[in-house]
Structure 1
Amino acid sequence: APASLDRVVKKCLEKDPDARWHSAYDLHDELAWIAADSTSTTAVAAAASRPWRERAGWIVALAVAVLSSALWVLGSGSLGTPVASDAREMRLQIVTPPGASLVGFAISPDRRALVYQATTEGRTQLWIRSLDSDAARSLDGTEGASSAAPFWAPDGRSIGFFTTDQLKRIDLDGGLVRTLASASQARGGTWGTKGTILFAAGSAGSLNAVPAGGGNTVVVTRVERPRQTGHRFPHFLPDGRHFLFYSLGAPEGRGVYVGTLGSTDAQRLFDADSAAVVAGPDRVLFAKGGALWAQRLDLTKLRPVGEPVPVSTQVALNADLFGDVALSETAPGLIAYRAFAGTRQFRWFDRAGRQIGVIGGPDESQPAGPMLSADGRTVMFRRTLGGNTDIWSIEASRNVLRRLTTDAARDYDAIWSPGGDRIVFNSDRNGVLNLYEKSVSGGSASAETLLLETFEHKNTCDWSADGRFILYSVQSPTTGDDIWVLPLFGDRRPTPVAQTAAAEFSGRFSPDGRWVAYESDESGRSEIYVQTFPDLARKVQISTGGGSAPVWRGDGRELFFRSPDDRLMAARIASSGTQLDTDTPTALFALPAGPNRDGSASAPYGASRDGQRFLVNTFVEGASPITVLLNWKARH
């Protein structure tokens, strides 16, 4: 490292606090002097020309040293000391590995550690890193941790986290892991000062509470239908009795609410594009219009005070999960968030995992849910621009990008008609995810037609090859996620295909229309099943070690799916009547790094009709580092 930077690092890391920089102001001035010095600038430029791995060490070391020193200055050696009114704002960055979750991170209550979820070498778990170190260590026992953000106990000695279908806690002293509750499809959790954990499970339910030491789960909020459709992402206020949460629903019911333990009543505070997190002592942070905002709260009257003020012009939202934002609960004067969700691209891979082509260029708008047309010439997917999600398509041969929907509401999963001239998609333009149909033939898009409206959220899954049925999933408040079918003939009355207390979703018709493949967690983990259709007489389990996102080969002789360790699997299929024969699935290749694959019902890949090529949603560039904003003060 350049000598001047080396001196800064060593002084930041002095064991004696009196020998360190006396203030963030002094440190800032020293770094500014180094940046202005021509000799140092030349040295830095020369270092920048080296490979990333070679220069990453001293860059990370400097960032860690600066962050460590700045955090120490922020607390003036004591975590309880308030931020000095004349302290200067500083923005620092924490780099996480490429496989880290966009939203799955949290700063500890004492501001000295970071926990995050990441997948490395096919293994997904939690990692913890002290902010005065550039090294992270994995937390044994957290294997299978979901991408939902982990959350700290108020004393910083334990961490709550989710797996595919459970809420757990790990005690950092000793590493004991305990299961606290069932929690399929987690939608956030928070740990209060009075020993209660709040969490959301499923897309259409209320919030639940469980003692941090384990015990019975109780419902703590009431979804007021039809203006609300589900509660998620709770965050306790400092008193441990009141809490914030996000509600989906109609425009008049959507937004940030405050609730109280012991009562299922809640009060709407304001509209937002995301959940709100506590930034203390009386501020909450939230996303709106792609930016990060702060709102002051009167903690006695539990109502907003004044207008929100901007914090950052950009904050990353998880486009796969409404209300989810890359933002951590923090201490007064410190804000931690990601500004950028990364760059993605659809890439073709052969059965050996070799990249053999691309569709479209690198895209910063979180493209997701690729759906190939029957002729393989066009891929349809969703993109999110300025906080709004719409349906788009790309012609594979010419890379021509076309916008198919333009409504201000969120237009989500879309499926092709067999002829490729129509699409069906789900949208929350009436507050609930309903099904809409539109023509996309002739180079012009027609007006949308409401195809199916109920009080429950619905996600499109597939359109049968004969054009007679639409397969979709329902987010039921009583039975969770279920799979239903809508006939496009007769009385068009929907009927269930898979409806149990377990979660069933990601349904796909076989090419001959006689079977439905889907994902279910009835065994305690997500597995792939195939069921006869339309008589539902027989069901066969296909996966043996977990699975998600099933996709059929064009002739129905293979079924592909994603394994829990992110490999693309293939299972041979031979069927006759209601009989189906299959072999133990085999792994084709490890899926390349891509966006969150646990927060969406749509598959992150598509398969060519002959099953020889796979179009995978991959990262070109991962999410931005975590920005740590120190000494932030609202500007009225």
Structure 2
Amino acid sequence: MLGQTLGRFTILDELGRGGMGVVYKAHDTRLDRDVALKLLPPDRVADPERRRRFEQEAKAASALQHPNIVTIYDITREGDRDVIVMEYVPGSTLDRLIGRKGLRLGEALGYSVQIADGLSKAHAAGIVHRDLKPSNVMVSGDGTVKILDFGLAKLFEREPMDALAPTVTARQALDGFTDDGHIVGTAAYMSPEQAEGKKVDSRSDIFSFGSVLYEMVTGRRAFQRDTSTRTLSAIVAEEPEPAGRLVADLPPELERVLERCLRKDPQRRWQSVPDLRVVLQDLKEDSDSGKLRAVAPAAPRRSRWRRWVAAVAGFAVLAAALVWAISHRPRSAAGITVTRMTFDSNMTGFPTISQDGRLLAYASDRAQPGNLDIWIQQVAGGQPLRLTNHPAFDVSPSFSPDGSRIAFRSERDGGGIYVVDALGGDARRISDRGHFPLFSPDGSLICYLDIPASLDSALSRIYLVAAQGGPPQAFHPEFSVLGAALLSHPVWSPDGKSLLFLGRRGRDPSTADWWIIPLDGGPPVRVGAVAALSLRLGSVSGFPRVWTNDFVYYASGTTVEGVNLLRVPFDRARPAITGKPEPLTAGAGMKYNAALALDGRLVFPHMTWTLNIWSAAIQSDRGKATGELEPITRDETVKFSPRISRNGSMLAYAAFSGLDTRDTEIRIRNLTSGRETALPPFESTMNPVPVFSADGSVLAYRQVTGGRSTYYIRTPGSATDRVLCEDCGVYAFFTDPAFALVQYGPQELVRQNVSTGARTTVLHVDGASILDAQPSWDDRWVTYLLGLPSGNVAISVAPLRDRPAPIGDRILVREDDHILLAPRWSPNGEWLYYLAASDGFMCVWGQRLDAVSRKPSGAPVGILHLHGSRTMSFPLGQWPLEVASGRLIFTLGEPKSNIYMARLDRW
């Protein structure tokens, strides 16, 4: 075809051919640029359903804009040929660059980091490559890596194989990939689950990535046999030859990375590419700086004694590798060794350790998924003991100094602090409120934090209660604890004479800092940690976890980038920070709390969340759920603030899809067609908070720059987005999208003309804060959520007029000392739906309203109870619940966590 034309394309050269078609270099005469054309095999697109599946995934892949992914420009048909138009990348495929001895170490690490970057972007968008191999990786002349053929695997999807078929043919092995019972792909780079025809996810790509990296550093394929069938068998049942045997100077750190990528069990591989990428980047930097060194080869073995020594040394190396393999070991400036202590598939977290370092306690749902109870086990090993068994959550255990008792928070009977013997028995309630209990070093007191239902950190207070029980006493109530809703809490000084916490005086932001307050009545001392540690307030930043004679250990990060543990040298006598912070853990995931034994054993959790948007069918005008939970999104991005148009056709949500908070974008999905588009990432905004008009045609979104919140509005046909308001919050559009419901300050709602900016105050409250608001579908009423001075929350309703509704016209729907969130109208205005934690779990409730007066009619009704392992992810979005015609929309988080222990050399 060289020199021929295909539509607007002139064929210049053949770049390659294979099972997925022929690739040509061509010139696009319309756009005057060189492109790569992939002509698809006609037999692959003959089946309409196969073509539909392929086009759906290829369209999703075309939305991937990343420097390490070849961009798909178009999917078109020229004459009788189906064509994919792609970015043309001059260079060589990786398989042509890998010689018989492999690549130089620096090259291999550099390419691997770029491949990981591209895979991270794709996986965050829910796209699994399924056929990652060296021939699908381009390297340009300047060393830039580009991954090819994202989205093409759907074209090669086979019908499910006959369940009685005894074997997989070599032809299937060469051509196919896995997708729930059928197999397609390139045999040598398949994952075990792919080779067995099982369902695959992003961890399958991690195995294939490991195979590619193995080949880059050794020059040999990890699994290569004389036939495809034997290759598949080796992938499923055999281990590759250790790369260190093939490359004498291979650093052991890289060999461990390969070993973990190539594990048969997906649960024991790297669980996400971003985590793997961090380790590879560290190895690349150490390699470039000369810090990464190989282990010197052993001397020749000449005697039985030397053979015995070599065997012991080999066992030691294997044991070290095993310790690393069973841990999710983060890099550490302290050079600590990390050991994984639990191996649960759901949620095991909130660890604490006895002062003698012998006993470990934690909260786990291993006995019943979604039901957290307190467990205890010996650090040296042995069977864990379940201490509590209650339908409500039991969390946050704390050992008494002698290890004989455990204090914990329970949601039972309205929630409170309980104490149970470490050997078992009945739990005893010592406080009707409180979170995060901690025994004092002498065991006489328990401090805890009281968090208001409004989640207003300015109303969070520290309390002290006698360990044997008694009336709790507020401790310096003029101070509040920052980040209480994100697991911040006070910690004891080593001598038990003071408490340290991140807080402020009342609501004064200028006083936000670490504070130390003595129990003997001495004056509070401001530490100056915000400036010394450059703490980023408003996130998980600088939460103290442990205070020793020489250090303060604290947690910092974000719930999406990762929360990690650090420590900073601390002079308790002055008191003052005396050095630079030292990271103890790194990478994604939440290491949100820690406990330290007197012998230097530090325990902490590693928790990850999968946050997706879900739907439940509902007769919204009748207050009745009619269907099961169904996911709308299924990928690994963090999603929050979903908004849906009233007719249920358009969905907008914020999505985090990168390694830092600047990689946040708004995604807009047509729920009828399934088509999804994305607004570019908002570099200055973690949560852009999208807001749809009633018909889905107008979108408002937020950007935060320099601490100032600005809402922009996007309308059909407009070339640019314009400012809607500044220092404001936009809750909703009215039925006419020319008007929006906007909040200025904590106590006032206005109806604002989005074109002129003219405002009409529709609600003003005194002595409380408006936390959320929504107009009814007929624009005659507004429901709003109030944070009360007591810390309680209330849902109210008021008529919408051209002036604020008098107090006498406002209707209280519900007040509670437990969390209430997101009141939402039914289409006919006769039901309010909202989230409530009154039964210890965040569930969807409904309240019927009188059709005329809008006063509550009858008791609240449970609409959707979520008592399992999935939990409502309310902290990540202002609006976690939406009501449209026929459906509820919300985000659900599926947490997974296990416990790890580090041995510190100094503490």
Kindly state the Cα deviation for residue 578 of structure 1 after the two structures are TM-superposed: 4.6
- Identity across the alignment (%): 13
In 2, Cα distance between the equivalents of 1:306 and 1:333? 20
Kindly provide the CA deviation profile for residues 386-426 of structure 1, in whole angstroms up to 9, marking residues without a partner as x: 56375633324323333463216x54755445565353659
Counterpart CA distance in 2 for 1:113 and 1:443 is 60
| Larger Cα-atom Rg | 2
Structure 1 residue 395 and structure 2 residue 649: aligned?
no
Q: After the TM superposition, which residues 26-37 of structure 1 pair with which residues of structure 2 at under 5 Å, given as runs?
A: none
Q: C-alpha distance in 1, partners of 2:387/2:471?
A: 28
Question: Which secondary structure state, in structure 2, belongs to the residue aligned with residue 354 of structure 1?
Answer: strand
C-alpha distance after superposition, 1:309-337 (max 9, x if no partner)? 222222535xxxxxxx6222222522333
Matched residue, 1:367: 639
Say which SS state the counterpart of residue 363 (structure 1) adopts.
Answer: coil
Partner of 1:267: 527
User: Does 1:333 pair with 2:600?
Assistant: yes
Q: What's 1:480 paired with?
A: none
User: Is the 8 Å Cα contact of residues 207 and 219 (structure 1) preserved in structure 2?
Assistant: yes
Deviation at 1:275, TM superposition (A): 0.4
**In the alignment, which residue of structure 2 is the partner of 1:278?**
546
Q: Are 2:476 and 1:220 equivalent residues in the alignment?
A: yes
Counterpart position of 1:169: 418
2:440 corresponds in structure 1 to 192
Q: Secondary structure at the match of 1:623?
A: strand
Partner of residue 899, structure 2: 626
* Corresponding residue of 1:27: none
- In the other structure, the counterpart of 2:172 is none
Inter-partner Cα distance in structure 2 for 1:521 and 1:125: 29
Given candidates 353, 356, 362, the residue that maps to 1:115 is: 362
**DSSP 3-state at the match of 2:682:** coil
The CA distance in 2 between the partners of 1:119 and 1:417, in whole Å, is 44
Would the aligned equivalents of 2:640 and 2:876 in 1 still touch at CA under 8 Å?
A: no
Output the amino acid matched with 1:285: Y
Q: Aligned pair 1:137/2:386, yes or no?
A: yes
Task: Tell me if the contact between 2:351 and 2:604 (Cα under 8 Å) persists in the aligned partners.
Answer: no
With over 3 angstroms needed to count, the CA separation of the structure-2 counterparts of 1:304 and 1:579, relative to structure 1, is closer
Q: Hey, what does 2:609 align to over in structure 1?
A: 342
Distance 2:701 2:794 in 1: 24
Q: 1:470 is matched with which residue?
A: 742
Tell me the secondary structure at the aligned position of residue 527 of structure 2. Answer: strand
* Alpha-carbon offset, residue 135 of structure 1: 4.0
Hey, what's the Cα distance between the residues in 1 that align with 2:793 and 2:577?
45
State the distance in 1 between where 2:481 and 2:607 align. 34
After superposition, the Cα gap between the structure-2 partners of 1:43 and 1:107, relative to the gap in structure 1 and judged at 3 Å, is farther
Greater shift in the superposed pair: 383-392 or 195-204 = 383-392
Tell me what 2:586 maps to: 313
Residues in 2 aligned to 1:158 and 1:624: alpha-carbon distance in whole angstroms: 21
1:178 aligns with 2:432: no
Matched, 1:92 2:366: no
Supply the distance in 1 between the matched residues of 2:542 and 2:471 (Cα, whole angstroms).
30
User: Do the aligned residues in 1 keep the contact of 2:371 with 2:869 (CA within 8 Å)?
Assistant: no
Q: Deviations over 1:208-258 (max 9, x none)?
A: 2323333353342755999xxx99521222121233322489997655444
Q: Which residue in the other structure is 2:491 paired with?
A: 235
- 1:473/1:507 contact within 8 Å kept: no
Shift of the 282–450 alpha-carbon distance from structure 1 to 2, 3 Å rule, reads same
In 2, the alpha carbon distance for the partners of 1:559 and 1:247 equals: 36
Relative distance call for 1:583 and 1:278 in structure 2 (3 A) is closer
Q: Could you say what the CA RMSD is over the residues aligned between the two structures, in angstroms?
A: 5.1
**Greater share of residues in strand:** 1
Distance 1:296 1:617, change over 3 A: same
Is 1:537 the counterpart of 2:810? The answer is: yes
What SS does structure 2 have at the residue aligned with 1:204? helix
Corresponding residue number in structure 1 for 2:885? 610
Residue identity matched to 2:861: P
The count of residues paired between Structure 1 and Structure 2 equals 523
Which of these residues, 179, 203, 208, is aligned with residue 462 of structure 2? 208
1:287 aligns with 2:550: no
Question: Cα distance, 1:437 vs. partner?
Answer: 1.7
Distance in 1 between the 2:361 and 2:730 partners? 37
Distance 1:417 1:238, change over 3 A: farther
Where does residue 833 of structure 2 map in the other structure? Answer: 560
Amino acid at match of 1:392: I
In structure 2, distance between residues paired with 1:518 and 1:144: 29
Contact persistence 1:125–1:139 (CA under 8 A):
no
Does the alignment pair 1:551 with 2:838?
A: no
- Whether the 8 Å contact between 2:642 and 2:882 is mirrored in structure 1 is yes
- 8 Å Cα contact 1:168-1:181 kept in structure 2: yes
Shift of 1:346: 2.0
| Distance across 1 between alignment mates of 2:429 and 2:862 | 33
Where in structure 1 are there 5+ consecutive unaligned residues?
1-38, 54-65, 71-85, 318-324, 453-458, 475-482
Q: Note if contact 1:568-1:589 (Cα within 8 Å) is conserved in structure 2.
A: yes
Question: Is the Cα–Cα contact under 8 Å of residues 140 and 175 in structure 1 kept in the other structure?
Answer: no
What CA distance in whole angstroms lies between the structure 1 residues aligned with 2:370 and 2:792?
A: 17
Please give the alpha-carbon distance, in whole angstroms, between the structure 1 residues aligned to 2:515 and 2:819.
37
Aligned AA for 1:180?
A: S
The CA distance in 2 between the partners of 1:382 and 1:552, in whole Å, is 25
Shift of 1:130: 1.5
- Deviation track 1:48-101 (CA, whole Å, cap 9, x = no partner) reads 868989xxxxxxxxxxxx9xxx9xxxxxxxxxxxxxxx998242142345255x
Retained in 2: the 8 A contact 1:519–1:526?
no
Alpha carbons 1:106, 1:116 under 8 Å: kept: no
Question: CA-to-partner distance for each residue in 1:350-392, whole Å, 9 max, x for gaps?
Answer: 3444355523x5124x322322244641322363855637563
Give the corresponding residue for 1:378: 651
For each residue in 1:174-197, what CA deviation from the matched residue of structure 2 results, as whole angstroms up to 9, or x when unmatched? 4343243645xx6x5544235251
- Equivalent position of 1:82 in the other structure: none
Deviation at 1:298, TM superposition (A): 1.7
Q: Would the aligned equivalents of 2:823 and 2:833 in 1 still touch at CA under 8 Å?
A: yes
Aligned partner of 1:298: which letter? D
1:603 positional shift:
4.6
User: 1:381 touches 1:391 (CA, 8 Å); kept in 2?
Assistant: yes
Among 680, 684, 688, the residue aligned to 1:407? 684
Note if contact 1:287-1:315 (Cα within 8 Å) is conserved in structure 2. Answer: no
In 2, Cα distance between equivalents of 1:370 and 1:304? 42
1:302 paired residue number? 575
8 Å contact from structure 2 (residues 795, 815) kept in 1: yes
CA distance, structure 2, for counterparts of residue 141 and residue 592 of structure 1: 14
Q: Aligned ranges for residues 406-555 of structure 1 at < 5 Å?
A: 406-407=683-684, 410-411=686-687, 415-416=691-692, 418=694, 421-423=698-700, 425=702, 429-430=706-707, 436-441=710-715, 442=718, 449-452=725-728, 462=732, 464-465=734-735, 467-470=739-742, 474=746, 485-488=749-752, 495-497=763-765, 505-517=771-783, 529-534=795-800, 535=805, 536-541=809-814, 548-555=821-828
SS of 1:336 mapped into structure 2 = strand
Q: Secondary structure of 1:576's match? A: coil
**What's the offset of the Cα at 1:159?**
0.9
Determine if contact 1:257/1:266 at 8 Å carries over to the other structure.
yes
